[in-house]
Copies of this chain bind each other. A is one copy, B any other.
Amino acid sequence: MAYLIPVVIILALIYNSIKVLMEYERGVIFFLGKFQQVKGPGVIIVIPVLQRMMRVNLQTITMDVPTQDVITRDNVSVKVNAVIFFRVVDPQRAMLAVQDYLYSTSQIAQTTLRSVLGQSQLDELLSKREEINVELQRIIDQQTEPWGVKVSVVEVKNVDLKRCCGPSRNRRKPSASAARR
């Protein structure tokens, strides 16, 4: 029965080298560390030891941009959150160019939300939603482009003018109006 042991080991190796990628997944294959190719969906063989595979999901990801405190150009303090739809279009760059493309995209979305809304008037923010969404999408997409991430839609969700604490609002008020004169 001793001759069975190598057979079992070989079978186990073969089993581990067979990977199934779903229709919406890609495998970035490295051959001895060097990028080799992106393999499509279906069954692929990854040679043990020599090759390594990183799995990338190409499905559109819906990510919540957490609530940001933004002060509009006309000095009104608002709480804004948004939702962003994006997907990986270039698995190679998503794996190679950046350490964590999900976290980085989320950070870019947060900072862009702040900066774009901080340059808008409150009126624009409320009435020109569409234009602001398009602007947000354009800027975020431009920054995530080197990472192979395509941002398809950004939508501002909740624009909240309510302030929790009365005194705090009153405090900012006079100076804001003073600065405007």
Which A residues lie at the B interface, using CB under 8 A?
Answer: 20-25, 30, 32-35, 41-43, 57, 59-62, 64, 68-69, 71, 73, 75, 77, 83, 85, 96-100, 103-104, 107-108, 110-111, 114-115, 118-119, 123, 126-127, 129-130, 133, 143, 147, 153, 155-163, 165-169, 171-181
Between A and B, 10 residue pairs with Cβ closer than 8 Å are A33-B41, A35-B41, A60-B99, A62-B107, A75-B126, A115-B130, A115-B155, A118-B127, A163-B168, A168-B169
Inter-subunit contact B157/A96 (CB<8 Å) = no
Instruction: Determine the chain B residues whose CB is within 8 A of the CB of A111 once the complex forms.
Output: 83, 155-157
A23–B30 touching, CB < 8 Å: yes
Q: Nearest chain B CB to A45's CB is how many angstroms away?
A: 12
If A60-B147, A162-B168, A168-B169 are given as contacts, then 8 extra A-B residue pairs at C-beta distance below 8 Å, sorted by A number, are A25-B33, A69-B160, A71-B126, A73-B127, A118-B129, A143-B153, A166-B167, A175-B177
- Complex Cα spacing A171 to B34, Å: 61
List chain B residues, Cβ under 8 A from A167: 166, 169
Q: How far is the CA of A171 from the CA of B24 in the complex (A)?
A: 51
The oligomer's copy count stands at 3
Q: Which residues of B contact A175 (CB under 8 A)?
A: 176-177, 180
Q: Smallest Cβ distance from A26 to chain B, in angstroms? A: 11
**Do the beta carbons of B179 and A180 come within 8 Å of each other?**
yes
Q: Which of A157, A167, A181 has the most CB of B within 10 A?
A: A157
- Answer whether A85 and B104 are a contact pair too, CB < 8 Å, given A33-B41, A127-B118, A165-B162: yes
Q: Which are the 6 A-B pairs with shortest beta-carbon distances? A: A111-B155, A23-B35, A20-B33, A62-B104, A34-B42, A60-B98
